[in-house]
Structure 1
Amino acid sequence: MDAIPLVHASLGEQELAAVAEVFASGWPAGQGPRSKALEAELADRYGVGGAVAVSNCGCALHLALLAHGVKPGDEVIVADYTFPAPAHAVHYVGATPIFADVRADTGTIDPDVVADLIGPRTVGIIAVDTVGLPADYTELVELTRRHGLFLVEDAACAVGATYKGVQAGALAPTACLSFHGRKGISSGEGGALLTADPQLAAAARKRASFGIEAIFDQARIVGLPIPVFTEIGYNYKLSDIAAAILQVQLGRIDELLARRNAFAARYTELLADEELITLPFVPEDRTHAWQSYLVRLDPSVSRAAVAADLRAQGIGCGHGTWASHLQPVYETKQTCPVSADLFQHHMAIPMHAELTMEKVERVATALRAAVRAHAGGPE
């Protein structure tokens, strides 16, 4: 049988044609005409004051913290159950990440836990739309207003998701997107910073280009303009090749998300009666982007053995995401028991727009058999 990968980017002839146009233009580097056009399309789609196209979401998070003036000695509350990029970004600016536990049903940051963690050194919060499901922004926005904190939405996994009818990426004054290969839309790698403040966007765009104005813009000035470095910046630019791919992908969001929704619904239908599996929960006030489809295995089931069974049949799977506070790099004494439990028992099964219903059914049948075969033994 054909292998069923855990992830698969939906890239094809339209994207190749867009890349060919960039090759012909003579400007494949970053902050050129395609990058500018992409930023304008992102700002329009999300209704924000500015968008900055960057090489990945980690760069966007770093730029967001710089824009908010985070410095050594500050504390930033970060969602714990996620790829650790938010906590990494806090360390980039010399501040301290404070890990907030998550809701057991959604895996998103728990506003009640956040409220208890706010202290005299807290300057902001990074919420994460966990594997594509938006967090509780009504409560989070209220907390930031009450305490004078900034709020950053890490919407890396959530392109296409909504919360109370508003798109993920527009749920906080500053948001970060990812266009990594497993996301809803992709250029292989890539990211964006979205902000309500055009001046913040302009400053971030300059920092993303070593601290100078775009070379493409400078080259269009008559004479010999010499850029002036007024601050230390970074090389976070997104190439025009990737930007062209993303312009095509932006136009395909609805199509690709509809496929993921259909496959998620079929998984749910096929696995709903399996007592050894807890399926994803989506509150009525939001929609899921389905970057990943995570199931929680009963503690009696050996996840490693289930994974071995699936992989032996050519079916990709993964552990889900990380309980960040347990990673040795952070050396924290904090505990986040809900996040730790999800980290131990979650399993990701194939989810991408290139699946078929036949493959979904094959995965569900194999998963059901594996969990039943490996229940009752050591984890």
Structure 2
Amino acid sequence: MTTTDSIPLVCASLGERELAAVAEVFASGWPAGQGPRGKALEAGLKERYGAGDAVAVSNCGAALHLAMLGFEVGPGDEVIVADYTFPAPAHAVRYVGARPVFADVRADTGTVDPAAVAALVTERTVGIIAVDVLGLPADYAELQAIADRHGLFLVEDAACGVGATYRGREAGSLAEVACLSFHGRKGATSGEGGALITADPALGAKARQLSSFGIGSIYDMGQVIGLPVPEFTEIGYNFKLSDIAAAILQVQLTRVEELMERRNAVAARYAELFADEELLTVPHVPADRTHAWQSYLVTLDARVDRGAVATDLRAQGIGCLHGTWASHLQPAFDAQQVCPVSADLFRRNLGIPMHAELSEDQVERVARAVRTAVTAHARPLGRAA
């Protein structure tokens, strides 16, 4: 049960400008998908990411699914996916009847290890899905080199990456196809939503048609004199993003830098407050990239009882969670694989409050509570688990 002084794990930064944009959509008479605001959002995304096309969809999972369809992945194919993440990439591969092959991750960043990817390539491998884990871009130069060497596609799952950079390039533009999320905890949000960003206009056109049951925009058809009757020439999906959500996102995308500045300040302050804490490690950000800080995860010493720490924090009204998933361990995939680094991070990472609405006092309160809890719930050195 929350209290008035609770500190939530996440909090969307939505305000009067977003409300005004929604009111405009209500007045327009077209709240559904692929209307004027959706088209304007797609144009803005295309420009922001220097893309061949951008397709607004209902969520990042839909974008990943459309990417697999666009690359014509199917039964008998294998796609190498980053293991330490929300397992949407593996779901997308399974949606099209292919096999996800899980690649272990770097211990310092949690992003997919290019050496692990290279070791998994077989004659059945058709592509790679890398992930900007929790907002930190992967090693795209090395990954692209592997993809080029073997003739594979590379997809950037940038669900958490809006606002991050890699070697001066913005997350969302780091591979031939990128998939974005606009979920409530992301750097730009409409509550739910997503986008497929692609260098290939033909792939974008195919994704847009498949996202609307295999036909074109009903809004566009309504602007034509006469009575055009669309034909369903292939089986598609209902992955459209509403114009209500698109209007919110048009505002949010103008605020990414503002909100990132605050998230960066929160992350920097956490790093200061935890600098001398031996029972946890703060996130590592390599010098060639920046973090979007969708989440802030500390890695607990193996002696610390994470569940007990979480119980203490939640009792004080401080939001927390386990972090993200070691996908290969999830029963849905029956992976029969071992990714030891990912599994270790899955056991030891703890997510603490991270969003642009945190005050300085709240950040300090969280840090004090975490330090107290990890000390209270750590086994003495040399004592068996």
Q: Deviations over 1:25-44 (max 9, x none)?
A: 00000000000000000000
SS in 2 for 1:131: coil
Letter in 1 for 2:22: V
Q: Superposed, which structure 2 residues align to 1:1-379 within 5 Å? A: 2-376=5-379
Distance 2:13 2:214 in 1: 34
Distance 1:367 1:300 in 2: 15
Letter in 1 for 2:94: H
Aligned sequence identity (%)? 73
Distance 2:122 2:7 in 1: 47
Letter in 1 for 2:319: G
Distance 1:18 1:134 in 2: 31
Give the deviation of 1:199 after TM superposition.
1.2
SS in 2 for 1:193: strand
Structure 1 gap segments, 5+ residues each:
none
Letter in 2 for 1:22: V
Give the deviation of 1:230 after TM superposition.
1.0
Q: Deviations over 1:343-367 (max 9, x none)?
A: 0000000000110111000000000
Letter in 1 for 2:36: P
Q: What is the number of equivalent residue pairs in this alignment?
A: 379
SS in 2 for 1:310: helix
SS in 2 for 1:329: coil
Letter in 1 for 2:287: E
Distance 1:167 1:174 in 2: 13
| CA RMSD, 1 decimal | 0.8
Give the deviation of 1:296 after TM superposition.
0.3
Letter in 2 for 1:362: R
Distance 2:325 2:199 in 1: 30
Distance 2:5 2:201 in 1: 48
Letter in 1 for 2:167: K
Distance 2:236 2:357 in 1: 39
SS in 1 for 2:134: helix
SS in 2 for 1:58: helix
Give the deviation of 1:110 after TM superposition.
0.2
Distance 1:311 1:171 in 2: 37
Distance 1:20 1:236 in 2: 23
Structure 2 gap segments, 5+ residues each:
none
Give the deviation of 1:282 after TM superposition.
0.1
Give the deviation of 1:179 after TM superposition.
0.2
Give the deviation of 1:228 after TM superposition.
1.0
TM-score by length of 1: 0.99
Give the deviation of 1:232 after TM superposition.
0.5
SS in 2 for 1:175: strand
Distance 1:184 1:314 in 2: 24
Give the deviation of 1:212 after TM superposition.
0.2
Letter in 2 for 1:164: R
Give the deviation of 1:372 after TM superposition.
0.3
Distance 2:360 2:167 in 1: 29
SS in 2 for 1:132: coil
TM-score by length of 2: 0.98
Distance 2:90 2:74 in 1: 14
Distance 1:185 1:217 in 2: 27
Distance 1:155 1:336 in 2: 22
Moved over 4 A (4+): none
Distance 2:175 2:27 in 1: 38
SS in 2 for 1:130: coil
Q: Deviations over 1:34-70 (max 9, x none)?
A: 0000000000000000000000000000000000010
Distance 1:238 1:133 in 2: 26
